[in-house]
Structure 1
């Protein structure tokens, strides 16, 4: 974990390592069906946002009208997620950048803002809302964050050298914005706009590929500042979690 705070690596490619609970493999063979992620290469012209958008079914795509109406509809989706112990991605088109503040306020008034994570794509005037309500998500994301923090502090000289960023929003070039579940940055990055070096994203079953595109977003648009993204997939019945650690790496086969 200490290398997350080292010198910035050149973003030549993506690499992933995987960790799973043993019982998840033995009790549910289908769990392993997503074990070979497709790495993103420069030949793919799609952005992480459009890749993610392509995985969202039609019934989860909405057209923006007003912030109040959107908040009411998302609140209904959140209640459905709570009843089924699951999460959801909802795509909203026709969202001008100026409407984001109104959407944020409407979500706060409905008491659902903490259950939603926003990814905004300005060139498309589109918003993807990741809904992760309920105790399992909060328990996993927060407890794993504490474990990471304790691990960092266990290295000599690293106590007090990092800041927690929670689900703060970060803006990339091209009017792109995103929130994660948890994030950490070195104390040497003192500006409010400085990106995290480590991001944690948590999702329920059936969201693994979407989480991978979330990870790609951070690595692609942070200009090398985000060194690692840990994605965690929660599965119920049987209870299990799957972790993948995504990072940039130098690819000697690619020339710059």
Structure 2
């Protein structure tokens, strides 16, 4: 499967995977950074660049805090090389993330466990080398009230017009750099040119070893949604996405109380894709 280089332990904001069509700017301060992001966003919308990133160099940790407080979103910061990638949210990106999160909320409510969940949203998580925001994240409420653990147990990453390697690397970082606290990652990978949508559930693969210090994340299940063209219906390949209850709430489900895995059916995920296509101006 090739939906997925943060290299080594440094991460480098996965810049090796997204550097083919990106100009880098020396960080100029919040106000000018906002103008630059606006220009890059306009270029992306006009089709003059193929990704939604803006990269700044020479960004200090205090600069990162200032940008975060100023309302910049989707920040991915490498502390060692002092580079910051800002992903400009787009309508298809936000549509997919918002609808998937709402669907998860509905399923938690139907099982009567919504009050037991903590919705962590895009809370920034950090390691020694990197600070990163997910598109959405969740974990058991009890974990955060009774322990010092800040990481979620489940993360959602949405990609719109992003390289496949970066999608996989983002999943890898959450799974292997969270001290084993992130148990599952869902990625929704939207391709701008074709409109195809790839939904994947990831988990850790092999444990790191001397021979294999960076093992691959493992795709547990995948649903590929190919947009129909010329009046043809969409074509689906793969399975429902079954997010284990235990990985979300860190305990076994109680079937007697209606608890079970969070099942995202092919029909539900197709509906999300159809809304994404509408935002892209594409007929389904």
The alignment status of 1:243 with 2:209, answered yes or no, reads: no
Q: Which residue is equivalent to 2:9?
A: 47
Stretch of structure 1 that moved more, 124-133 or 82-91 = 82-91
Q: Distance in 2 between matches of 1:253 and 1:127?
A: 30
**Offset at 1:237?**
5.7
Which of 99, 104, 109 matches 2:68? 104
Q: Which residue is equivalent to 1:148?
A: 104
Which of 27, 36, 56 matches 1:92? 56
Q: Which residue is equivalent to 2:26?
A: 63
Stretch of structure 1 that moved more, 233-242 or 179-188 = 233-242
**Offset at 1:195?**
0.8
**Offset at 1:154?**
4.7
Count of residue pairs brought into register by the alignment = 208
**Offset at 1:163?**
1.4
Alpha carbons of 1:104 and 1:178: their partners in 2 closer, same or farther (altered >3 Å)?
Answer: same
Q: Which residue is equivalent to 2:182?
A: 226
Q: Distance in 2 between matches of 1:117 and 1:238?
A: 24
Stretch of structure 1 that moved more, 52-61 or 120-129 = 52-61
1:39-93 per-position Cα deviation (integer Å, ceiling 9, x unaligned): x9xxx96236237111213643222232322221011112233344974223322
**Offset at 1:148?**
2.4
Correspondences of 1:183-202 after superposition (within 5 Å): 183-191=137-145, 194-202=150-158
Is residue 124–residue 131 contact of structure 2 (8 Å, CA) maintained in 1? Answer: yes
Which of 65, 80, 83 matches 1:126? 83
Q: Distance in 2 between matches of 1:80 and 1:167?
A: 26
Q: Distance in 1 between matches of 2:208 and 2:22?
A: 43
Higher relative contact order (CA 8 A, sep 6+): 1
SS in 1 for 2:144: coil
Is residue 49–residue 121 contact of structure 1 (8 Å, CA) maintained in 2? Answer: yes
Correspondences of 1:1-80 after superposition (within 5 Å): 35-37=1-3, 46-47=8-9, 49-50=11-12, 52-55=14-17, 56-57=19-20, 59-80=22-43
Q: Which residue is equivalent to 1:26?
A: none
SS in 2 for 1:91: strand
Q: Distance in 2 between matches of 1:45 and 1:235?
A: 24
Stretch of structure 1 that moved more, 139-148 or 44-53 = 44-53
Q: Distance in 1 between matches of 2:82 and 2:163?
A: 23
- Under a length normalisation based on structure 1, what TM-score does the superposition of the two structures give? 0.69
Q: Distance in 2 between matches of 1:239 and 1:53?
A: 24
Alpha carbons of 1:254 and 1:150: their partners in 2 closer, same or farther (altered >3 Å)?
Answer: farther
RMSD: 3.2
Q: Which residue is equivalent to 2:121?
A: 166
- Under a length normalisation based on structure 2, what TM-score does the superposition of the two structures give? 0.63
1:132-167 per-position Cα deviation (integer Å, ceiling 9, x unaligned): 32x211111011112223334555x63422111111
**Offset at 1:253?**
9.5
